[in-house]
């Protein structure tokens, strides 16, 4: 704690433009919650609605709890928020593996968001191809389009696996070369051909603001490769190159085009 009473060891460090390292996962979640609020205010001021896609996996759990907490819940105009998902597993919504299910338990049941504003991927549908098409129809109905005709999310949360996958875009997948479809249903070989539903790379890249939340030392090697552009072919998380949005560090904690919030390394050096 310095003379100003600020505990500087808890503050994030910007180690590369748009790459913030936090002391731990709890601080990553706090940084992400602040970002959610800022992006919500900006989008609602500009478009009277806020379209945000949530990431899956375990890392966003703390963020969801924080957004539902007394510290953040009242800062968001929830009736103007529309929730989407970047990807989903082919499991029922009440399954412990459901990305929607986790968000419902930790966030949706605790904030005043209208059910009509919650747009989950129905990846458990036996006709998952039709469900993916229906999801594209929902995106087309609600989101504005960019100059290439892809839907623009105001904020997109993404995670990253130790192999550098993001959403359900895995290394070596032919889906990484997708240029037209918005939603796809890959079989993930390395997960015993588990079926997934995922937004495609052009849709991820069309987002106004992209926020990668990455926590855990097991992800350090992949994050180093992603940030140093060392890998050929590039890892999926490395391939997400935002097409929109203004990037300027003087905005402080407002919206950037792409940011990495991470607590991945004990020795706190990324490259």
Shortest reach from residue 91's CB to ligand 6PG, in Å: 10
Shortest reach from residue 95's CB to ligand 6PG, in Å: 12
Q: Of 16, 109, 24, which is closest to residue 68 (Cα–Cα)? A: 109
**Binding window for ligand 6PG (CB under 6 A); candidates: 52-60, 69-77, 141-149, 247-255:** 52-60
Shortest reach from residue 220's CB to ligand 6PG, in Å: 13
Site for ligand 6PG in 73-112 (CB under 6 A): 86-87, 89, 99
Site for ligand 6PG in 128-147 (CB under 6 A): none
- β-pair partners for 258: 210
Q: Are 99 and 56 in contact (CB under 8 A)?
A: yes
Our CB check for ligand 6PG shows the closer of 113 and 211 to be: 211
Our CB check for ligand 6PG shows the closer of 49 and 106 to be: 106
In angstroms, the CA 179 to CA 264 distance is: 32
- β-pair partners for 194: 188
Our CB check for ligand 6PG shows the closer of 82 and 219 to be: 219
Q: Of 210, 194, 170, 201, which is closest to residue 32 (Cα–Cα)? A: 210
Half-sphere exposure for 122 (CA within 13 Å, toward CB):
13
In angstroms, the CA 55 to CA 187 distance is: 19
Residues in contact with ligand 6PG by CB under 6 A are 55-59, 86-87, 89, 99, 159-161, 165-167
């Amino acid at each position: 704690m310095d003379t100003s009473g600020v505990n500087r060891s808890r503050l994030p460090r910007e180690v590369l433009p748009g790459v913030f390292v936090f002391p731990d996962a709890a601080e990553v979640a706090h940084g992400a919650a602040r970002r959610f609020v800022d992006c919500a205010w900006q989008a609602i001021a500009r478009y009277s609605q806020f379209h945000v896609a949530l990431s899956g996996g375990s890392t966003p759990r703390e963020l969801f709890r924080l957004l539902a907490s007394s510290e953040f819940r009242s800062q968001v105009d929830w009736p103007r928020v529309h929730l989407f998902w970047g990807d989903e597993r082919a499991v029922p919504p009440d399954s412990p593996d459901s990305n929607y299910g986790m968000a419902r338990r930790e966030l949706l049941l605790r904030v005043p968001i209208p059910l009509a504003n919650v747009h989950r991927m129905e990846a458990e549908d036996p006709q998952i191809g039709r469900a993916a098409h229906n999801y594209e129809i929902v995106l087309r109905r609600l989101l504005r389009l960019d100059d290439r005709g892809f839907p623009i999310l105001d904020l997109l949360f993404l995670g990253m696996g130790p192999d550098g996958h993001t959403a359900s875009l895995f290394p070596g997948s032919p889906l990484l070369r997708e240029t037209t479809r918005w939603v796809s249903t890959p079989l993930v070989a390395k997960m015993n051909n588990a079926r997934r539903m995922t937004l495609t790379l052009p849709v991820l890249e069309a987002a106004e603001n992209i926020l990668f939340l990455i926590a855990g030392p097991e992800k350090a090697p992949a994050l180093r490769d992603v940030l140093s552009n060392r890998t050929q072919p590039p890892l999926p998380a490395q391939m997400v190159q935002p097409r929109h949005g203004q990037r300027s560090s003087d905005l402080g904690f407002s919206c950037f085009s792409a940011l990495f919030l991470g607590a991945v390394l004990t020795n706190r050096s990324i490259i």
